[in-house]
Structure 1
Amino acid sequence: MTFEPEQLGQSSQELAAMLRDLRKRAGLSGVRLAARCNMSQSKVSRIENGKVRPSLVDVEQILRALDAPSSIVAEVSALARMANTEWRNLRELRRKGLGTRQAELRALETSSSHMRYFLLSMVTGLLATPEYVRASLAHSPADTSKAVAGKLERQAILYDASKRFTFILTEQAIRWPVVSPFALAEQMDRLASLTYLPNVRIGVIPLGVHASRNPLNTFTIYDASLVTIETSAGSLVLRDSRDVQSYLDEFATYEEAAVFDEEAREKLAEWSTACRS
């Protein structure tokens, strides 16, 4: 089954209708299907009405319970994968307004307890100084004033003690010259100061440190439910539990390679001094 990136995330209602139709063709009630799948009847109902996005594991359980033929399994599984994956191209984000994107991120942060950020090439807005935020958006042809304000307002969530944050930054991300050397030194000083927040862990991977994986993209994990992957053309959103777990595993390898606390502050101070000199 082939599809365009823009189709991702748009098949939820089609998936719900197909699962409902398969159950009826099998002559099963929602209660009997739920019992076979070890699910609640209310969850089966919400899935079939499109009110809950089923994971791939949920869909596999339902298809097995319905004894669906292999051709149907392949088609429904492809729909489930599409429903749990979403592509947001940069052109569309700019059309809607970059400020709208900040509102979406704020909602994700508000609804999550533990957020993990792997930062390959730049400092994320939650950790950035105002000058760094403005410079990071300077290339955009759209009006960025609302996006800048949104990024800076979102930083307040770092001080919410009910939230946990783990940031892993490569040396390249920290030292990439987004701003002038002096402003970059200030950015490094801010990172060092944030390491003292009790609910914030900031790890640094210096150049030359071996990691068992080779990173390709910046990504963020929200609890164990959703991953966003940043590319130069847009962002990919993954919701399937197995996809999320693969990124949790990858993040753990970078966490093992990183230095934290006083060792991280020493590195940041060294690089900050180099910028000022």
Structure 2
Amino acid sequence: MAHHHHHHGHGEDAPGSDVDWAEMAEPLEAQAELFAPLYTQVLTWLGEQVAEPALIVDAGSGPGVVSCRLARTFPGARVLAVDAAAPLLERAGQRAAGLGLADRFGTLAGELPSVLAESDGPVDLLWAARSLHHIGDQGAALIAFADRLAPGGTLALMEGGLPARYLPRDLGLGRPGLQSRLDGAQAAWFARMRAGLPGSVAGCEDWPALLAAAGLKHTGTRTFLLDLPAPASEQARAYVATSLSWLREACAEEIDTEDLTVLDRLLDPDDEAGVHRRPDVFVLAAHTVYTAVRPA
């Protein structure tokens, strides 16, 4: 399971009525901008596979950072940012206008996958980055995604990868191996989140097989690396602090008392051992993208 937390993005993380998406927009944008080197690699790869799309849909777009990158990668395409959170789509529209993309950029508010039926015509490239796993029946959602594709159209699905790493194995406080234990806590949270989704269907997350079951031809799998070595920038430190804060809050029942104490120190901006100050903080993340084409 990929490293995963609430602030990743609507469409990339747990949707819910209790989330103030207007307040979340800024950290979501900051994270997407931090991951720019990874998205550059992904879009270069997609650009080699997808020939001059007319319509691109970003399914679960959040505030539209990647939507705008898609528009710049494919300058002949119209881009539709789709998300359930209207405040994030408003930010996406503002970002597109600021970049001079407004004439070929639109937004569509609604829940995936049903809202895709409202998209304007067949889709040449459907990008879904960590939005699928927040839909109860992932197989049915992939069929709905496939139905929106034009003949020869491509679905690019970002799911899986590896848990992110920020800290050395031995922090010099607490027991070594904190991040490995946090992975376990997060996996338990993820399983609860999936089980609690409406219409949740458990199944093997063999993405090529699921894509084939949706009537698509699996055309490629590639994992992309974000490697931001220590000493981390302030932007990277802020991302690490936000990530660990989310884990501290969402997964507290899965984390033992000693590790919670260490997390509190790591999150204290005045503690020399905390992530805001320590010199050994880094960001290393691996995200996997699967592509598949609707037969012509």
Q: What's the TM-score bracket when you normalise by the shorter of the two chains?
A: under 0.3
TM (norm. structure 2) is: 0.26
Larger Rg over CA atoms = 1
After TM superposition, the score normalised by the length of structure 1 is 0.27
Structure with the higher fraction of residues in strand conformation: 2
User: Between Structure 1 and Structure 2, which shows a larger proportion of helix residues?
Assistant: 1
